[in-house]
Amino acid sequence: MPSDPPTQDQDQDQDQNPDQDLEQEREQELEALRRELRHHDHLYYVEGAPEISDAAYDALYRRLQALEARYPELVTPDSPTQRVGAEPRSDLPTVTHRAPMLSLDSSQDPDDVRRFDERIRKGVDGHEVVYLLEPKLDGVSIELVYEQGILGQAVTRGNGREGEAVTENVRTIGSVPLRLRDEERPVPTMLSVRGEVLMRLSAFEALNEALLEQGSEPFANPRNATSGALRQLDSSITAARPLECLAYDILAVEGEVFRSDRASVDALRAWGLAVPERIESARTVEEILAYHAAYDRDRDALDYEIDGVVIKLDSLDDRADLGSTSRHPRWAMAFKFQPRKEVTRIERIAVQVGRTGVLTPVALLRPVEVGGVTVSRATLHNREELERKDVREGDRVRIQRAGDVIPQVVEVVPPEVAPEGASGEVPVASRAEPFRMPTHCPNCGTPVEERGPFTLCPNRFGCSAQLKGRIVHFASRQGLDIEGLGDETASLLVDRELVRELADLFELTSEVLLPLPLFAEKKAENLVAGIQARRRTELRRFLFGLGIPEVGASVARDLATHFRSLDALQAAGREELEAVHGIGPRMSEAITGFFGDPANAAVVDALATRMEALTVPDREGEGGPLEGMTIVFTGTLESMSRGAAKKLVEKAGARSPSSVSGETDLVVAGPGAGSKRARAEALGVEVMDEAGFLALLEEKGIPTG
């Protein structure tokens, strides 16, 4: 049978087909070029094994550029051409991390590694202990967030909970894939990765040589150069710096479940991210020590800076059980190398008054280079340490520095062990008199107090040296987050007597600031506006900013969440404070002592009168279906990791500690459950298997997806 004649609509569709086919061909060619360039980028930046010449690569790149310039509507965010940088920005916005980026507890002592291993073995409920070992890179920590496999955000570590968005800058780093590879395994719907941005020593030296040729100031070390490059407002400057990024941890993931750190590292590698070299497993302390010793031997031959090795428990379920403090995970530690040391002379000993009132003796040194950094000051710690080492003005001393730690005086070098041929040594008999700590604060003249090995000025807010530090702390990122109120500005405001107490900050005007040497009109206006904008702030930030002894950012958050108002906290006694999770007798004594001091109370009251509101966000999970319950997980869960299960019940209002006690309401036990299940049964706590737990979630209307 003959076919029906085409309709008018079909005629129109046929007329359009050639154009549609042409557009489809363009898209296919563009995607083929992008795919090929990504492949060669991966080989060059990650594998270090390029397959084609630079000229061949440039030809492919220019072809892609030309097509995208001709058809801009077909440009995609993950195209290799988008690495060149965006328009300069006016600021770096603050962004909350998908999961906390904690620091690591660290030590140089092998005995501390043994104690760490003992704690791990006691805490994992009898499970096999396997560690993952990797180099501790001395760079700048970064969070990379991928949505549907596309790089959507890059954030500096900041305070561990939030950092600065530097996405456009990180997009210029060749070893950071703009699109995850999916040839070996599917990409997750969301992936948050922790990595380290660094600059190789050879690249750093070449950069400094170029700067010197231009008549510019060279960088002090690779880490400073890296940090400065990452925080540029103009990403084209970042693009010109030889940065690399190595990924080593998955902070959060959706669409994947990992049981071990080794599996997550393998996944990172499969998705096209560069990972540190020489990642190894260990089951004993002896294997850890051997790994550390091998890296220490090779340290000077490496083309990048490391300051130790990282020891991490491999099992992610056991990590979830062990949990973290407010600062450090309990399942990992950094085993540092012994610091580099040099010999120089103490020219004078000064006393520095810190924000908390501690008087610290500081050695002012004849400048010497230690590990690539010129050192002219070193801490002498405290009164007892100064006396123990018998350090005096004019002594030749051995100093050391490790990582970001303030240089320290290790020991006095007597003349008899001086290098052969040295001249001008000071005979032992003519050494200076032993240095004595002052009896009065060198800044405000207040009689000092001795507390253990420390010497303190008790004049907290009345001592100008302490006030300078307290202003900086009050304005810090975890405090009221007032931009432009750093050390130099704080010192100027106090020295000019424009700020005699913290509350005076809110009385500053542009007219008062303009005559000062640091201030032009715009800067003065910005600082005043920044301060005034903080009249309304979160109670947790206000409490942290006060600098209450023992109260860091995590405790400030807990206090604000529990008491909900400044008045309620000020009126709380020690028993009420110790009812807050994580606050013990020492902390409660420090808090009540702070608010009970009349001078402190006057400062707090003066500040409170300047504030429009001290807000408290609703508690996460408050009013949730599991509010008030305490649920502990043990063993292996099939449907989700223990970490995911803990987050799920906490979001629904429950607490999920890592240990079983009389306050526990429910223990969810999977295969492999050990002592926690036995303790729950001994205490009469309900024990439920995974099927029962999932049924409970369904009954309470809590989604698991």
Active site residues: 136
Among residues 36, 26, 125, 7, which one has the least CA distance to residue 66? 26
Are 477 and 492 in contact, with CB atoms under 8 Å apart? no
* Residue 193 and residue 251 in contact, taking contact as beta carbons nearer than 8 Å: yes
Distances (CA, A) of 511 to 374, 471, 519, 520, 526: 40, 20, 10, 11, 13
> Alpha-carbon distance 465 to 440, whole Å?
14
Tokens representing 465 are: 């040296």
Q: How far apart are CA 77 and CA 223, in angstroms?
A: 29
Residue 509: count of CB within 10 angstroms of its CB: 11
335 by Cβ neighbours in 10 Å (0-12 / 13-18 / 19+) ranks as buried
Q: Which residues of 135-172 are buried (b: 16+ CB within 10 A; e: fewer)?
A: bbbbbbbbbbbbeebebebbbbbbbbbbbbbbbbbbbb
Q: Where would I find the beta strands (DSSP E) of 510-616?
A: 536-538, 613-615
Structural contact between residues 704 and 648, judged by C-beta atoms closer than 8 angstroms: yes
**Contact by Cβ (8 Å): 135, 335:** no
How far from 142 is each of 56, 223, 277, 376, 652, CA to CA, in Å?
Answer: 32, 13, 18, 31, 30
Question: What is the full DSSP assignment across 464-491?
Answer: HHHHHHHHHHHTSTTTT--TT-SHHHHH
- Is the CB of residue 675 less than 8 Å from the CB of residue 667? no
Which of 297, 251, 246 minimizes the C-alpha distance to 272? 246
How far is Cα 659 from Cα 647, in angstroms, rounded to an integer?
16
Burial (0-12, 13-18, 19+ Cβ within 10 Å), 609: exposed
Task: Supply the DSSP string of 388-447, one letter for each residue.
Answer: HHT--TT-EEEEEE-TTSPPEEEEE--GGGSPTT---PPPGGGPPPPP---SB-TTT-PB
| Encoded tokens for 239 | 């693009």
Q: What are the tokens at 301?
A: 């031959």
5-12 long-range contacts (CB < 8 A, ≥24 apart) are: none
Is the CB of residue 442 less than 8 Å from the CB of residue 371? no
Nearest C-alpha neighbor of 484 from the set 530, 439, 536, 429: 530
Contact 225, 219 (CB under 8 A): yes
The HSE-up count of residue 40 (CA atoms within 13 Å, CB side) is: 17
Q: Which element (helix H / strand E) includes 387?
A: helix 383-389
CA torsion angle for 458, 460, 462, 465 (degrees, to 10)? 100
Closest among 146, 398, 103 to 271, alpha carbons compared? 146
